[in-house]
Amino acid sequence: MSMVAAQADVLRPEGFRRVARWLAERSHRHEPRWLDVAARTCEDAATALEVQTGQIAKSVIFRHLVDGVAVLVVTSGDRRVDLRKVAAQLGLAPAELGRADAAFVKQQTGFSIGGVAPVAHACAPVVLVDRELFRFDEVWAAAGHPHGVFCLSPAELVALTGAPVADVVEVL
């Protein structure tokens, strides 16, 4: 790493640096990329990266209402998560899962909404990877900040998270 690159890295937000370290420790083939614009939505990210919206691996956090455990669903940016399917995959009743608010997301993941990475969380969540991501050879996930992203294949996402592949989206 050059001196300029090292200095730039130190200036990046902590969440981005944490994801970069986590990926480097696992010898991930792509370093996180810092975008000039914030990619708070899948559409923003797809436009900035010049890819299809479906290639954005969005992280949606739910809260297990009984014990407060975070449930992370990583799905394709052009799909909507079906809460009933997620609950069924986890052996729960739909009423046992709820959307997570910003404070819960930050506490559990260490990331703010709009930059939640699928890896390097503050507290390990239960993770499901949606099968719809496998429509693409490469996808892009948030890297701990709305300006940060990293590239990987859906199979690499499964390997990095240790998550099962599941059908968890609404029918189009």
Average pLDDT, the chain: 93
Q: Mean pLDDT over residues 11-30, rounded?
A: 94
CA end-to-end span of the chain, whole Å?
Answer: 45
pLDDT at 7 over 90: no
pLDDT of 128 > 80? The answer is: yes
pLDDT band of residue 172 (cuts 50, 70, 90) is confident
State the pTM of this model.
0.91
Stretch (H or E) spanning 70:
strand 70-76
Structural domains of the chain sorted by starting position, each given as residue range(s) with its CATH number in brackets: 3-166 (3.90.960.10)
Which structure tokens are listed for 164?
Answer: 């099962």
CA atoms within 13 A on the CB side of 81: 24
d(CA 121, CA 132) in angstroms, rounded, equals 23
Helix (H, G, I), strand (E, B) or coil at 72: strand
Percentage of the chain beyond pLDDT 70 is 94
pLDDT tens digits for 73-123? 999 999 999 999 999 999 999 999 999 999 999 999 999 999 999 999 999
8 A C-beta contact, residue 16 and residue 143: yes
pLDDT of residue 82: 97
pLDDT of 138 reads 98
Would you state the pLDDT for residue 81? 97
pLDDT at 4 over 60: no
Alpha helices in the chain (DSSP H): 3-11, 14-25, 42-49, 83-89, 102-109, 154-161
